């Protein structure tokens, strides 16, 4: 059996988005990244040894990009940044073979993005050149002053798409690729939305797009996120049940009652809080951190060994006391993170958004940058309002979400966030795209599918691939023996559509 099928995809292949969920979901995501990085590094080492390679075939380059594509004066003043990108020509047959573009998102893009996963499997089949472009203001594609507030005005999806257009032209010149050669874009989560939008706004540059877990509908108050989390913990497809969901709800109801009764010291002791919980912001962060663990398990189901919906439900049903079961899960989460206590200090939390120190060698998400993008374009604030099916604390409402960071950190009035969100939907069309040959791929237990496109849009020729029982960006990972039948069938459908679009491009039917 080929070694390549055992490769586990690196974080840059599965972009994720998080708005306000406290510190815990950010930590959970970073733990997922670390697991993926170690797995893919070890597996690629074995693969390259098997092939007789002394080093990776992927090359790393930097492209000077304008800081503002839409301001001629900015270009005259020479305001630029260097965009990191990767090239994998291992399967490429030459200038007439297609080019597959992997789009980076709200975090560091690793070379692993063009070394493993669905894009590589399809590149082998179609002899494609694979290129990956890191998103401006993330990873190494960031100026030394890039996190300063006055510089963040140049961080937007529109500027990122313009970067991609310039990048396509650059690759064409560097590799002698004619305009007639078809390009296909790939991305997952926010980069999945970028992939769809690149096809929408630059159809002359990209003939088709794969948009996995793509939240193309911007929304300020994202109530649907935790409604899907609730449905996921109820789903028997992944080891959930109604009884499990009920126990989660009861556990958080007990905590809300204890907060209302002023039992802060007991909560601090039971859940090993590093700090007192007498202040309301710290209480909100506390319940958000607890909920963040469940949200992380649902969004990244099975990404961390032993951490999945089935396991959580076993613990939640292990005794008749839901409060005690929450304590047990919280301890597991602390042990997993190698932390003696949970930092529920709101002031400590906000400091991560105000940090303007640039570390180009860091892996993981750009918390400050991404939060700015939620304020300036997308919203996506995951709440737990009373009139929803959310099983967590109702202290997690919009007023207590990261939307307050817009005002306090980025000087964007909270009333303007709705305006910014509406503009994004008007500019891109939300979840009613008017462009053909876009494949929207979503998993049923992924909370972000609520903001994607879930049905075929036959009038424009876009397609939906919906996968029961799978989580965030599951299709982008490499094939594995443990893949469900539904996931295998979905990959075949995606491969068939990509092949169809390429054939149409080569025969000039598009």
Which of 116, 121, 123, 152 shows the shortest CA–CA distance to 36? 116
Taking a C-beta distance cutoff of 8 angstroms, is the pair 290, 316 a contact? no
The closest alpha carbon to 119, from 198, 188, 190, 33, belongs to 188
State the catalytic residue, choosing from 141, 189, 273, 401: 189
Bridge partners for 438 per DSSP? 209
User: Would you give the DSSP letter of residue 69?
Assistant: T
For residues 263-283, one letter each, b for 16 or more C-beta atoms within 10 angstroms of the residue's C-beta and e for the rest, the string is ebeebbebbebebebeeeebb
What's the CA gap between 311 and 322, in Å, rounded? 15
Catalytic residue selected from 472, 475, 477, 483: 472
Query: Is 189 among the residues known to form the active site?
Result: yes
Residue 447 exposure: Cα atoms within 13 Å on the Cβ side: 28
What would the two tokens of residue 197 be? 């939008």
Between the CA atoms of 12, 18, 21 and 23, what dihedral angle is there, to the nearest 10 degrees?
40
Element of type H or E holding 171: helix 157-175
Find the radius of gyration of the CA atoms of the chain. 22
| CA 445 to each of CA 117, 206, 247, 271, 472: distance values in angstroms, whole numbers, following the listed order | 21, 30, 19, 27, 8
Q: Which residues contact 15 (CB under 8 A, 6 or more apart)?
A: 104, 105, 106, 107, 187, 188, 189, 190, 191, 192, 473
Which residues, including other chains, have CB under 8 Å from residue 147's CB and lie 6 or more apart? 137, 355, 356, 357, 358, 368, 369
- What tokens does 427 get? 């500019």
- Cα angle value 148/149/152 (rounded, 5°): 90
Per the structure block, which two tokens stand in for 258?
A: 């204890």
Alpha-carbon distance 187 to 190, whole Å?
8
Which one of the listed residues 18, 343, 402, 446 is annotated catalytic? 446
Count of CB atoms within 10 A of residue 70's CB?
12
Active site residues: 189, 446, 472
């Amino acid at each position: 059996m080929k070694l390549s099928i055992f490769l586990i995809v690196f974080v840059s292949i599965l972009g994720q988005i998080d708005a306000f969920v406290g510190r815990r979901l950010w930590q959970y995501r970073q733990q997922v990244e670390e697991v993926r990085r170690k797995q893919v590094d070890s597996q690629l080492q074995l693969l390259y040894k098997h092939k007789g390679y002394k080093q990776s075939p992927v090359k790393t380059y930097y492209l000077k990009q304008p800081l503002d594509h839409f301001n001629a004066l900015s270009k005259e003043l020479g305001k630029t940044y260097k965009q990191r990108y990767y090239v994998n020509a291992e399967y490429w047959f030459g200038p007439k073979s297609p080019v597959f573009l992997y789009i980076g998102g709200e975090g560091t893009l690793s070379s692993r993005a063009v070394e493993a996963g669905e894009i590589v499997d399809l590149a082998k089949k179609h002899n494609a050149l694979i290129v990956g472009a890191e998103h401006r203001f993330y990873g190494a594609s960031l100026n030394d002053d890039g996190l300063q507030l006055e510089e963040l005005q140049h961080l937007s999806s529109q500027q990122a798409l313009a970067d991609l257009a310039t990048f396509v032209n650059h690759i064409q010149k560097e590799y002698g690729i004619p305009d007639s050669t078809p390009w296909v874009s790939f991305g997952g989560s926010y980069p999945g939305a970028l992939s769809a939008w690149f096809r929408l706004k630059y159809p002359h540059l990209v003939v088709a797009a794969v948009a996995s877990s793509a939240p193309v509908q911007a929304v300020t108050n994202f109530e649907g996120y935790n409604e899907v989390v609730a449905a996921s913990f109820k789903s028997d497809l992944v080891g959930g049940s109604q009884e499990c969901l009920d126990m989660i709800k009861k556990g958080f109801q007990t905590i809300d009652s204890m907060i209302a009764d002023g039992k802060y010291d007991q909560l601090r002791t039971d859940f090993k809080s590093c700090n007192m919980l007498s202040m309301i912001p710290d209480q909100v962060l506390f319940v958000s951190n607890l909920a963040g663990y469940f949200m992380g398990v649902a969004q990244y189901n099975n990404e961390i060994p032993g951490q999945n919906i089935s396991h959580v439900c076993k613990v939640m049903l292990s005794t008749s006391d839901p409060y005690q079961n929450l304590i047990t899960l919280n301890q597991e989460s602390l042990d997993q993170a190698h932390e003696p206590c949970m930092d529920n200090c709101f002031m400590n939390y906000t400091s991560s958004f105000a940090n303007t120190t640039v570390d180009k060698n860091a892996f993981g998400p750009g918390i400050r940058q991404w939060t700015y993008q939620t304020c300036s374009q997308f919203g996506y604030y995951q709440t737990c309002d009373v009139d929803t099916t959310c099983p967590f604390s109702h202290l997690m409402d919009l007023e207590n979400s990261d939307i307050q960071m817009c005002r306090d950190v980025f000087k964007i009035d909270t009333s303007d966030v709705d305006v910014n969100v509406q503009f994004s939907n008007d500019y891109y069309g939300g979840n009613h795209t008017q462009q053909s040959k876009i494949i929207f791929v979503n998993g049923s237990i992924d909370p972000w599918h609520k903001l994607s496109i879930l049905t075929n849009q036959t009038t424009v020729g876009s397609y939906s691939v919906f996968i029961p029982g799978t989580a965030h960006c599951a299709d982008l990972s490499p094939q594995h023996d443990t893949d469900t039948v539904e996931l295998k069938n979905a990959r075949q459908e995606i491969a068939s559509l990509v092949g169809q679009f390429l054939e149409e491009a080569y025969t000039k039917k598009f």
